[in-house]
Chains A and B, each alone.
Chain A
Amino acid sequence: MNTIVCVKQVLDPEIPPAKFKIDPTAKQVIPPPGVPPVISVYDERAIEAACRLKDKHKGKITAISMGTEKAADVIKHAIAMGADDGFVLQDAAFENLDSFGTAYVLGKAIGKIGEYDLVLCGRQAADWGAGEVGSILAEMLGIPVVTLAADIQAADNTLKVKRIVSDGFEVLEAPMPCLVTVSGEIGLPRLPAGPRMMMARKKVVSVWKASDIGADSAKLDKANAHTEVTALTVPTRKTECEIITGSTPTEAAANLAAKINVLI
């Protein structure tokens, strides 16, 4: 089976909070200097899900990432993990697109890649966390979507997906081709095997511009965006620390439980 994985490169979510700066007037995040961007965590798990399916059913994995030229790093990471090929979608016209614009660009790139059985996305990006692109992209591609996958099994032309719901999970079946967004419950992504890592490092990742994928400039026009950021602020963090004690570990645990019960 052929899988396309959409991955995003984001500002490292683990930077010290004090280093997180925004420009409120431009409504943009200012990346701190010298901090390399990282792969969005759920997207890395989407690659893992694709690799597990490939381990079982063979086939080809193609990774795409819309972003800056540095996004080649996440494509190389995907290749090191097990993807066969990958492309970076980079164009001035792609900058600051909303979820609809992003889905449109990804859809055009998928159209250029051609045949596929499955499209995988992370459940949401680690930076904005909207969680919209996957569903919109499925709509645009005209294929079924299953979100929040904890497990994906393929048989014949059908996909069986274990999907996270608030009080447990449900199992859904969908015909292929379809799109699945992957949740953290799928499990830890694999560490790239050595030889793949060395191979991926030498890989030259092609960059597709708007013209390469035949994107309609009107669809990329910010004036036609479906959403607008009206304000951007840094949340205030307040930490209150209280040490819960007890004369024995059992008593300390009981005190802690009592405290938590009051707080929630």
Chain B
Amino acid sequence: MSPVSATYWGLPGYIIFWVLFAIAFGVFLRRSYFLYRLLRLGKPERRSDRIGQRAIFMLSVVSSQWCALKTVGFTDLAGLGHALMFWGFGFFLIGYVIIFGVDGGLGLSLPPAFEALYRSILDIAALFVIAAVIVAAIKRYIVKPKRLEREESPKEKIIMALLFTTMIVLMALHYGTEALKYSAYNISPSPIIGGLLANSLTSAGISPATLSATYTAFWWINYVLLLGALVYAPHSAHLHPLFSPANIFFRPLGPKGALEPVSAEETENFGVSKLQDFTWKQLLDLYSCTWCGRCHAACPAQLSGKSLSPREIILNLKDHLLEEGPRLLKGKAEASSKLIGDVVAEDALWACTTCGACIDACAVKVEHVRRIMDLRRNLVLTQNKMPETAQLMLRNMQSRGHPWAGIQSLRLRGDWTDGLDVKVLADGDTADTLFWVGCTGALVERNVKATISMTRVLKAAGVDFAVLGEAETCCGDPARRVGYEFQFQMMAEQNIETFKSHNIKEIVTSCPHCYNTLKNEYPQYGGDFKVVHYTQFIGNLIAQGKLKLANGLNAKLTYHDPCYLGRYNGVYQEPRQILQSIPQANLVEMARTRDKAFCCGGGGGHMWIEEQSGTTKINQMRLDDALKTGAEQVVTACPYCLQMFEEGIEHKNIKDSLKAKDLAEIVEAAMQPSESKGAA
């Protein structure tokens, strides 16, 4: 009864079955091994620690389809479609092993009741798959959201069309084969839908011989189509079904967007200038990309009209890897096109604010920002190319120890402490808690106000703290984010030495960039201190009852999540709790908030880098988000964000209707009794 037990042109079906299988599987393995060898072109990187934790995370995220389902929203059901496809086709993969392997190849006959049961499951799974294909096709060909806008190559168009068609054909073959089998051989019990179809075939009066011949034909077509898919899958550019789970397994477990230190000794070529400079994990990222475009649709540079698209960087690099790979494997050291310039444009690399929205949007844990930084490092450290404005910033950092100079510099580093009665650490002094002000908070007029507010809050809560005053220097973040790694390393080592010399235990920072640097990046250089952001510190003071926010603030507020506080460090709750604890404060959220918050435009060295001309300013877009809430005050907890909002408000000339505030200023106003309001 099994189609393999018959003889075809004198050949036993079994022979045909296994020969076809061996050929297809052999080709599949050969290509997979090639793809593996391409990965091995990359540099080593350790991602095999905490295997248990990695496996559990990968299995749970992939099998539950949380990776796709977390993206589902009212306007985007594609994630649901993906989940249906995954589950539906997952059952089919098991089903195919049973049907073609056990039933066909091994010729084991299954108990009819069991067969009817698993075929019933497949009947429903097929509906899932068909629904998913319909959702996907509507999305791709009719709705065409921003994330899917793309100049697809003919090859890519074919892949998607083939994928959709193959799925539908496979499902049709499933129903057809099943109905023919049950009708031709009159088996019971029968699966649900297959049984109904079989009944209609039987009642149509087709002869059992015709039915069984058609069944055999369908069976073989289905089998050959499956083997074809097996061969095609690793050869197509759509590799994500094969590699995404591995990419999720090898995901970074350290701080988000963490950058690897560059060693001055080991090489003349820094960062990444060719495929072999990437690590194997960075190459695996390329295979894993599903070109879903969520990074593209989340990127502030892209949305403001700049030449950067994180999706295009990944896809272009993937094409480059697949094209150049065979030559490189043959021992040719040089690819035929330049990675920076031909594959990835220089100005795209400079457009990145390192906000990390792409990383959070990615369902398969692709690390875009680290890659952009590695390419930037090569431009800066090896090719000595960077925007002139960034150079000026670095010169200031080298000679003055901070990035702000020129006309902005109306004050000196320690000036803000005048008249505040704060403990400024002199050589040899020690302190447990250090308030790390940051360059912007110490030098830029607008931000100094927030620094002074923060100081008053700390003093009002009776916190025993000290500051470094004029001895404080830059944390090094702007240098590191523009790719000038060694300046960062020098600043880091110098600051760690300073902290140790004062016996500092705990550091409270104003700036989220300093916070991220001190907390997540200084440990690479031996600086392990307890670092907290001031929003966490104030939140704690309120929880302990040391700080009471009794004064009402009758205003509608919206809170802007700084990227390096929210996405990079997961501090979303504390600032909101503080604002909500203020009597009468009415906190409203912007449409893009928390992990989906839109960047202010100031990160990644962009406080000092001119935005690409002819493009929208990122801070204007974020200001529009704030305006849409109808809030009277936009509150943030980052000096760059604050400046960006102030600049946007000034530009729009809406100073009377919207105020930009630092959270510390709001807290200071709320902690004072009403009658003394304004006295400060």
Contact = CB atoms under 8 A, between A and B. Distances in A.
A197 B490 contact: yes
Interface in B247-278: 262, 264-265, 270
A188 interface: yes
B650 to A, nearest CB: 14
Interface string B403-435: 001100111111000000000000000000000
Contacts, number: 65
Interface in A19-48: 19, 32-36, 38-39
Interface string A12-23: 101110110000
Interface string B468-504: 0111000000000000111101100000000000000
A197 B486 contact: yes
A37 to B, nearest CB: 9
Contacts of A193: 381, 384
A103 B400 CA distance: 28
Given A12-B399, A36-B399, A195 B391 contact: no
Given A34-B471, A77-B398, A188-B391, A194 B412 contact: no
Contacts of A77: 398-399
A198 B470 CA distance: 25
**Most B Cβ at <10 Å: residue of A193, A194, A198:** A194
Report the interface size class on chain A.
20 to 34
A34 B395 contact: no
Contact of B406 (A14, A34, A39, A198): A14
A33 B470 CA distance: 9
A36 B397 CA distance: 11
A35 B412 contact: yes
A241 interface: no
A259 interface: no
A241 to B, nearest CB: 14
Interface residues of B, number: 32
B412 A19 contact: yes
B414 A34 contact: yes
A34 B264 contact: no
A32 B412 contact: yes
Nearest to B265: A195
Contacts of A192: 398
A15 B262 contact: no
B394 interface: yes
Interface in A66-106: 77
A84 B173 CA distance: 77
A195 B469 CA distance: 31
A199 to B, nearest CB: 8
Given A14-B409, A16-B409, A32-B412, A194 B485 contact: yes
A194 B414 contact: no
B176 interface: no
A190 interface: yes
Contacts of B469: 34
B401 interface: yes
A185 B270 CA distance: 31
A57 interface: no
A18 B489 CA distance: 34
**Most A Cβ at <10 Å: residue of B386, B486, B489:** B486
25 contacts: A12-B400, A14-B406, A16-B411, A18-B410, A19-B412, A33-B470, A34-B414, A34-B470, A35-B412, A36-B400, A188-B388, A190-B384, A191-B384, A191-B386, A191-B391, A191-B395, A192-B398, A194-B262, A194-B484, A194-B486, A195-B486, A198-B486, A198-B489, A199-B264, A201-B490
Interface of A: 12, 14-16, 18-19, 32-36, 38-39, 77, 188, 190-195, 197-199, 201
Interface of B: 262, 264-265, 270, 381, 384, 386, 388, 391, 394-395, 398-401, 405-406, 409-414, 469-471, 484-487, 489-490
